[in-house]
Amino acid sequence: MAKKKTEKTDICVIGAGYVGLVSGACLAEIGHRVVCVDSDPRKIAMLEKGVMPIYEEGLESLVKRNVKAGRLFFSGSISEGMHHDGHRAAAVFIAVGTPPRPDGSADLSAIEKVAEEIAHSMSGYTVIVEKSTVPVETCEWINKTVLRHNKKNIPFDVASNPEFLREGTAVGDFLKPDRVVLGCPSPQCEAVMRGIYRPMKGATVLVTDVKSAELIKHASNSFLAAKISFINAVANVCEKTGADVEMVAKGMGLDKRIGMSFLKAGIGFGGFCFPKDLEAFYWLSQRKGYDFELLKAVKNINEDAKMWLVKKVQEELWNLEGKTVALLGLAFKPETDDMRFAPSIDIIAELTKLGAKVRAYDPISQENAKKAIKGIYFAKDEYDCLAGADCACLVTEWARFAKLDMKKVMSLLKHPIFIDGRNLYRPEKMRELGFTYRSVGRQ
């Protein structure tokens, strides 16, 4: 019997950043023909040469494999991306940036511009898929924008398909998701969207109305942020009472209703998603007449968590004027080069404001960090970073930092002071080695 042919959809993904490039490559990986479009000609030129504009584990090999297989292409034009080499895109995914405005709302101007171009470029029924993280009702505005510019009255639907990708594990998250959420306004749209994700055998697919799908993303990220801030608040209580936050978290996490994930005390969350989504969800709630005070508390606790490290440095070194502080790690989390809203940025700003000289090293995000942070010394490696410093601080828990030669670290530091902002090391071992060791919520 002949093997059933895999259902293939022609797809255009607009935006070749963290979400768009990963989504496009993964959609190609499951058998679709995908054209990734980006307005940055430098980024497109890099991708056509097989050079990744971002660091993400497994992404480079995924992109190269699907380019070679003739399933993944790149373009600088939306019109070309939607009609590439005689193929018409049945679905167009919008994955452009939605940066926060000063008031906490999301800047959706890029989405509006893209929606206009899609309207001008459609030549047959098209499902326009909102993939960027946006506030509820954005799909409604996309629909209005496309209607306004759709002079040929081409039929279309606007769907919401929020992403749940974690930087550092984004490829695996896409290909083996916890769930796929599809906000579909019509049976025809649902059929197209189900067809796109059908090759992902075993994935839980939840089909909802469009507004519920939009809200799921912000609600999910805000809840996870709340979980992080909760355990960081508990860590403060642990420090004041002599309890161990890791034991408390373990005891909490064994309850299946709570779970262990995101109960890791530290110096707060960063990255582009959690801070931005938290602000946007709070802004939306206020605009709709509800003061979501819990989200304000989550944000305030996170700001305090970042400054925990600065306070501990002050407690050990007293006056920071002229003192040298070494920071290990700059990215907001391991396995990414993303510096957006990284706690290290605020920590360094406060340390330099207090007169400290900062030395820093990150194995992957160093070049991006140089664009975001000025006036500090970027070290060649972790040991160069520590040389001559008055104290060492762990900011990002890269696996290589767990393997540091601590005797060498001790010999390089002026004083054997180690502030662990991610609870990477065991307190008893560090003190046994002779360090004055401080960690989050542990005695």
Q: Which residues are annotated as catalytic?
A: 273
- 52-83 b/e (C-beta count within 10 Å ≥ 16 → b): bbbbbeebeebbeebbeeebbbbbeebbebbb
Q: Which two tokens stand for residue 358?
A: 């900062």
Cα dihedral value 335, 442, 300, 360, nearest 10? -40
State CA 373 to chain mean position distance: 19
| C-alpha span between 215 and 204 (Å, rounded) | 18
Query: For residue 269, which phi and psi values (nearest 5 degrees)?
Result: -95, 155
Q: How many CB atoms lie within 10 A of CB 195?
A: 16
| C-alpha span between 381 and 361 (Å, rounded) | 6
Sign of the alpha-carbon torsion through 275, 278, 281, 287: negative
